[in-house]
Amino acid sequence: MCGIVGYIGKKRAVDVILKGLSYLEYRGYDSAGIALISNNNTNIFKAPGKLSNLKEILCLEKEENINATMGIGHTRWATHGLPTEANAHPHSCNCKSLTIVHNGIIENYKDLKPELEKKGCKFISQTDTEVAAHLIAHEFEDKKDLLKAVQSAVKKLKGAYAFCVTHKSMPDRIIAARKNAPLIIGVGEGENFIASDIPAIIEYTKKAIYLSDNQVAEIKTDSIKIYDENDTLIANKVENLPFEPIALSKMGYKHFMLKEIHEQPDVVRNVLVDKLHDEDTKVILDDVKLNKEQLSKINRIQIIACGTSLHAGLVGKYILEELTGIPTDVEASSEYIYRNTIADENTLVIGISQSGETADTITAIKQAKEKNSHILIITNRKDSAMARLADSLLPINAGIEVSVAATKSYMAQLLSLYILTIFIAENINSKENGHIKDIKKELLTLPSKLESILNDTKNIENIAKKYSSFKNFIFIARGINYPSALEGALKLKEISYINATGYPAGELKHGPIAMLDETMPVLAILNEGIVYDKVLSNCEEAKARQAKLIGVTNFIDEKHKNLFDDMVSIPEISDIVSPALNIVVLQLLAYHISEYLGKDVDQPRNLAKSVTVE
């Protein structure tokens, strides 16, 4: 989603900010802008489209207009108003003295706007942010101090915001504020940075202050002052940042997505290390703060997540119910929050999120917390807002994921759910040991099985090429692989814009079968297990309607010969662990179709890596 970078120091701010914004590009955006403040002068530059458009404009500028050592920059993901130059940030007031960049949504902007218009404010964009610019400018006229103006204005704002604000009459400071949207202050020597995410500043500093909700900060070259919601100065809590800059390299792969798909064997090793040693030793989860007695009292599990994380949660439901016997519901966070969800102190609520910043999931977790449920967060970002709300934290350690389409984080979430389930089952003795031992043994063999798929992808590439001209796809599976079908379809539509839908195979005949003909390929996941024959029958039904059939299977069967047009084989694997292998085939298929069609694989249109608005 939107990205913020601010800089105050001795370097040319434009260089630091543009570089920082380029490290946030992966999050998804559709316009960019920068404000440079020097000698009581503010220069604002904006451009719709990619950051390269903004860079082109800046290249044509005279040096004296862009040599400031303080500035704020932004990449905008449109929410209110088209991705035009006028709607791009920074926004300003009538006299252009004040500039603001903003992530989030000001929910009461429509209430505030008429009042400001009555006071003479002229609006030139369709954004909610411009309201904040005029509001703060008005407060500034009264208070004559930017910190006080922001402190007063934020009390009138509803919704979510991370701001950076400057005023040309105070060119020695940037004011930052946050509520329900991430913002960090990078601490340097003789310079300071502000960013909505770590990659933007990690090259310059490894020390940062995480702003909390309702805090406002005054940032100068050599000082940072943080104020709480009562405007009281509080002590700075400087923390070490977790990333190395190298993490943002493609390491020779054409796209981050392909690199991240290939990292999955190591991702599995990383999740298992220190937690699962061998099949005879119990799973160790130091960060789960629930003892045997507390675990035995849990009578309901609720998993809340969005998108790909939601699909991981659906696999989680199958394994949790199978191995622990505890009833488990899975719900999209955006649905969970607008109804009276039944949860209490005996409910374990599991929030799953790669970014840990997804607004819908954060709201859902806060709602569950109020019901005294134990909150367990599975996330790739130990430093995220969600992690900070957790009673128990299960970091997935997948490393930074740059591609908007989640791949390795899904794998790490799946593995974390297997490990968590086994941990609960072993503590409450819900399943006989033999079954659990078999699963543990298989989990340990996963990295080499994944490598065998990744070492020979020619067949998948050929299938991708063959089917890349189709406009629609159906993915079917049953049981524990139904979520794999959903995730495979999501991957394909996200990065190739092909209309792909996942269905439980048994549902085909209840409606979707009407769409089948030779223009609608059907991809079926057929794993040896209790639903194998059923899925095979559903494939026959599809074939009888002339649909092209692609199979993904771990089973060599003569019956496949005259049925499937194309087939991808995966290594031998039990049904319960198979989602971890099947998904890699579907990720590769989506990747190669998108690549073949020449789409922007890593930054698909309209999508954002971290969805920080509800």
- According to CB under 6 A, which one of 404, 436, 486, 588 is a site residue for ligand M6R? 404
Helix orientation angle between 146-154 and 129-143, rounded to the nearest 10 degrees: 130
611 binds ligand M6R (CB under 6 A): yes
Give the distance, in angstroms, between the CA of residue 181 and the centroid of all CA atoms in the same chain: 13
Q: Which stretch binds ligand M6R (CB under 6 A): 159-167, 237-245, 403-411, 587-595?
A: 403-411
Asked if 317 and 327 touch (Cβ cutoff 8 Å), the reply is no
405 binds ligand M6R (CB under 6 A): yes
**Rounded to whole angstroms, what are the CA distances from 369 to 334, 347, 359, 381?**
16, 10, 15, 20
Q: Whose Cβ is closer to ligand M6R: residue 127's or residue 308's?
A: 308
Strand spans (E) along 478-589: 499-504, 522-526, 549-553, 566-569
Asked if 578 and 527 touch (Cβ cutoff 8 Å), the reply is yes
Q: Whose Cβ is closer to ligand M6R: residue 92's or residue 353's?
A: 353
Asked if 547 and 539 touch (Cβ cutoff 8 Å), the reply is no
**Hey, how many other C-beta atoms are within 10 angstroms of the C-beta on 456?**
9
Residues 443-462 that bind ligand M6R (CB under 6 A): none
* Catalytic hit among 113, 317, 408, 609: 609
User: CA-CA distance, 132 to 143, in Å (whole number)?
Assistant: 16
- Could you tell me which residues come within 8 angstroms of residue 59 by beta carbon, excluding any fewer than 6 positions away? none
Least Å distance, CB 128 to ligand M6R, is 21
Q: Whose Cβ is closer to ligand M6R: residue 140's or residue 473's?
A: 473
Q: Binding marks (x or -) toward ligand M6R, 273..312, rule CB under 6 A?
A: ---------------------------------xxxx---
Least Å distance, CB 3 to ligand M6R, is 15
Q: Whose Cβ is closer to ligand M6R: residue 38's or residue 361's?
A: 361
DSSP states along 175-228: EEEEESS--EEEE-SS-EEEESSGGGTTTT-SEEEEPPTTEEEEE-SS-EEEE-
Least Å distance, CB 350 to ligand M6R, is 13
Asked if 267 and 399 touch (Cβ cutoff 8 Å), the reply is yes
For residue 308, give the 3-state DSSP assignment: helix
Q: Whose Cβ is closer to ligand M6R: residue 272's or residue 306's?
A: 306
Q: Binding marks (x or -) toward ligand M6R, 113..152, rule CB under 6 A?
A: ----------------------------------------
Residues 333-352 that bind ligand M6R (CB under 6 A): none
Q: Whose Cβ is closer to ligand M6R: residue 484's or residue 553's?
A: 484
Structure tokens at 402: 């740059």
Q: Whose Cβ is closer to ligand M6R: residue 157's or residue 404's?
A: 404
394 binds ligand M6R (CB under 6 A): no
Structure tokens at 111: 């209430």
607 binds ligand M6R (CB under 6 A): yes
Q: Which stretch binds ligand M6R (CB under 6 A): 207-215, 324-332, 572-580, 603-611?
A: 603-611
Least Å distance, CB 484 to ligand M6R, is 14
Strand 300-305 and strand 328-332: the pairing is: parallel
Least Å distance, CB 405 to ligand M6R, is 4
**Hey, how many other C-beta atoms are within 10 angstroms of the C-beta on 433?**
12
Q: Which stretch binds ligand M6R (CB under 6 A): 37-45, 156-164, 318-326, 355-363?
A: 355-363
User: CA-CA distance, 203 to 262, in Å (whole number)?
Assistant: 25
353 binds ligand M6R (CB under 6 A): yes
Q: Whose Cβ is closer to ligand M6R: residue 298's or residue 377's?
A: 377
What single-letter amino acid sits at 280? Answer: D
* Catalytic hit among 2, 93, 306, 539: 2
3 state SS for 440-486: HHHHHHHHHHHHHHHCCCHHHHHHHHHHCCCCEEEEEECHHHHHHHH
For residues 220, 357, 381, 379, the Cα torsion angle rounded to the nearest 10 degrees is 170
Least Å distance, CB 365 to ligand M6R, is 11
Q: Whose Cβ is closer to ligand M6R: residue 130's or residue 494's?
A: 494
Residues 194-213 that bind ligand M6R (CB under 6 A): none
398 binds ligand M6R (CB under 6 A): no
- According to CB under 6 A, which one of 97, 103, 361, 416 is a site residue for ligand M6R? 361
First to last CA, the chain: 12
Burial (CB count within 10 angstroms: exposed 0-12, middle 13-18, buried 19+), residue 142 = exposed
Strand partners, 44: 35
Least Å distance, CB 490 to ligand M6R, is 6
Burial (CB count within 10 angstroms: exposed 0-12, middle 13-18, buried 19+), residue 15 = exposed
Q: Is 236 left (phi over 0), alpha (psi -120 to 50) or beta?
A: beta
Residues 487-506 that bind ligand M6R (CB under 6 A): 494
Least Å distance, CB 580 to ligand M6R, is 17
375 binds ligand M6R (CB under 6 A): no
Residue 237 known to be catalytic:
no
Least Å distance, CB 242 to ligand M6R, is 16
CA dihedral over 8, 13, 19, 25, signed as positive or negative: positive
Place of tokens 């609608």: 520
Least Å distance, CB 384 to ligand M6R, is 9
Q: Which stretch binds ligand M6R (CB under 6 A): 130-138, 399-407, 467-475, 516-524?
A: 399-407
Count of residues touching ligand M6R (by CB under 6 A): 16
Least Å distance, CB 403 to ligand M6R, is 8
Q: What angle do CA 197, 286, 480 make, to 5 degrees?
A: 80
Q: Whose Cβ is closer to ligand M6R: residue 306's or residue 550's?
A: 306
Residue 2 known to be catalytic:
yes
* Residue closest to ligand M6R (Cβ): 307
Q: Whose Cβ is closer to ligand M6R: residue 57's or residue 332's?
A: 332
Which residues carry out catalysis? 2, 609
Which residues are at the interface with ligand M6R (CB under 6 A)? 306-309, 353-355, 358, 361, 404-406, 494, 607, 610-611
